[in-house]
């Protein structure tokens, strides 16, 4: 490999999601001072010329790269955890992360089975000596608190029994609530429906809503992100996870958004990652595995692809 190729490989090793450890060892580890100087000169997005005539890291680049180096470790630690502990820790991090992270609470509460969510609540007790419900009421303010408490404390029926008249009535209830133009998060009937009904029932309501309105329920809730996320996680989880992954895989994604890539692949690898891959391909015209191959690096990339492949 020529020096020019080595420098190009080094630049790629520091870009994307994760880092290319093998290239860093093979090229950077064996490099002489003059090659490292050339590398610094050729990467002005990482280094800047100091007034005292040396190339110095940008402070924000150092912080970002520390996170990129940690991605593989974090993925392995999460994968090795008991699912109850993993979900409990994800919910705690979501609460302390503020409103921009509350979608993770909805994700955990709505895409796990009743027993899995109950297990996560038990783990939360053990880890933090508080209930998740207590912490939600302590951290979340405003009308969305009632929705989130109802979701994290739900224990839904998981059978296939349906009452068609109730399905039709509740689809109409949702349509009326949306057409009213009022804040749906404060509508007791909407909250009761989304926090107590079985997923099988809600998917039937979702289908009936489309029949009577001519539009999708989640699309009609786009002005209320919490309810939209709730409906997607309960009724169309493959679509929800595909959208989250697409945002996480963008080159301009921020640190918080990127974290979703680890979270989704690790938590869905034993569940429905193949279905998510198919939906992702349908929505974005490329398979999830190909997108990860193009945007992730090193051990982190290899680990994510291994988790996806285990579902074959």
pLDDT in tens, 118-134: 999 999 999 999 999 99
Give the per-residue pLDDT at 255. Answer: 86
The interaxial angle of helices 255-268 and 59-80, nearest 10 deg, is 10
Domain ranges (residues) in the chain:
3-57, 83-155, 156-235, 239-309
> Binning pLDDT at 50, 70 and 90, where does residue 14 land?
confident
Same fold, 83-155 and 156-235: yes
Give 260-286 pLDDT, tens digit per residue.
999 999 999 999 999 999 999 999 999
Extract the tokens encoding 154: 């739900």
Does the pLDDT value for residue 203 go beyond 80? Answer: yes
CA dist 96 and 156 (Å) reads 27
Question: Rounded mean pLDDT of 28-52?
Answer: 92
* Tokens 């391909």 -> residue: 281
Give the per-residue pLDDT at 312. Answer: 60
What are the backbone dihedrals phi and psi of residue 163, each rounded to the nearest 5 degrees, phi first?
Answer: -115, 105
Does the pLDDT value for residue 141 go beyond 80? Answer: yes
* Tokens 């990482």 -> residue: 46
Answer CATH for 83-155 from 1.20.1050.10, 1.10.220.10, 2.30.30.240, 1.10.645.10: 1.10.220.10
Give the per-residue pLDDT at 184. Answer: 83
Residues 6+ apart with CB under 8 A from 89: 81, 127
> Binning pLDDT at 50, 70 and 90, where does residue 1 land?
low
CA dist 106 and 251 (Å) reads 26
CATH number, span 239-309:
1.10.220.10
- H/E stretch holding 55 reads strand 55-57
Does the pLDDT value for residue 311 go beyond 90? Answer: no
Distances (CA, A) of 24 to 12, 15, 81, 309: 10, 12, 29, 26
CA dist 11 and 62 (Å) reads 15
Does the pLDDT value for residue 10 go beyond 90? Answer: no
> Binning pLDDT at 50, 70 and 90, where does residue 30 land?
confident
Give 72-115 pLDDT, tens digit per residue.
999 999 999 999 999 999 999 999 999 999 999 999 999 999 99
Give the per-residue pLDDT at 281. Answer: 98
Q: Output the pTM of the full model.
A: 0.93
Give the per-residue pLDDT at 244. Answer: 98
Cβ atoms < 10 Å from Cβ of 33:
7
Superfamily in which the 156-235 domain is placed by CATH: Annexin (1.10.220.10)
């Amino acid at each position: 490999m020529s020096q020019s190729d080595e420098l190009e490989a080094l630049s790629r090793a520091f870009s994307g999601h994760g880092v290319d450890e093998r290239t860093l060892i093979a090229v950077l580890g064996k490099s002489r001072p003059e090659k490292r100087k050339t590398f610094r000169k050729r990467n002005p997005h990482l280094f800047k010329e100091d007034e005292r005539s040396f190339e110095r890291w940008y402070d924000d680049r150092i912080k970002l790269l520390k996170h990129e180096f940690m991605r593989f470790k974090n993925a392995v630690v999460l994968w090795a955890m008991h699912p109850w502990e993993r979900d409990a820790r994800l919910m705690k991090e979501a609460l302390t992360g503020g409103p921009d992270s509350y979608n993770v609470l909805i994700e955990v509460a709505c895409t796990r089975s009743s027993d899995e969510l109950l297990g996560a609540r038990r783990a939360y007790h053990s880890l933090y000596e508080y209930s998740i419900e207590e912490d939600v009421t302590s951290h979340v303010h405003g009308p969305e608190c009632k929705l989130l408490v109802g979701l994290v404390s739900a224990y839904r029926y998981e059978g296939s029994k349906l009452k068609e008249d109730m399905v039709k009535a509740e689809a109409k209830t949702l349509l009326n609530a949306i057409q009213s133009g009022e804040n749906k998060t404060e509508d007791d009937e909407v909250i009761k429906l989304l926090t107590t009904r079985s997923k099988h029932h809600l998917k039937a309501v979702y289908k009936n809503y489309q029949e009577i309105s001519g539009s999708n329920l989640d699309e009609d809730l786009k002005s209320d992100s919490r309810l939209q996320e709730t409906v997607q996680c309960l009724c169309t989880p493959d679509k929800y996870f595909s959208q989250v992954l697409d945002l996480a895989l963008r080159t301009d994604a921020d640190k918080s958004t990127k974290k979703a890539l680890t979270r989704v692949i690790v938590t869905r690898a034993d569940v429905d990652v193949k279905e998510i891959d198919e939906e992702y391909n349908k929505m974005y015209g490329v398979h999830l595995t190909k997108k990860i191959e193009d945007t992730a690096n090193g051990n982190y990339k290899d680990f994510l692809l291994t988790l996806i492949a285990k579902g074959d």
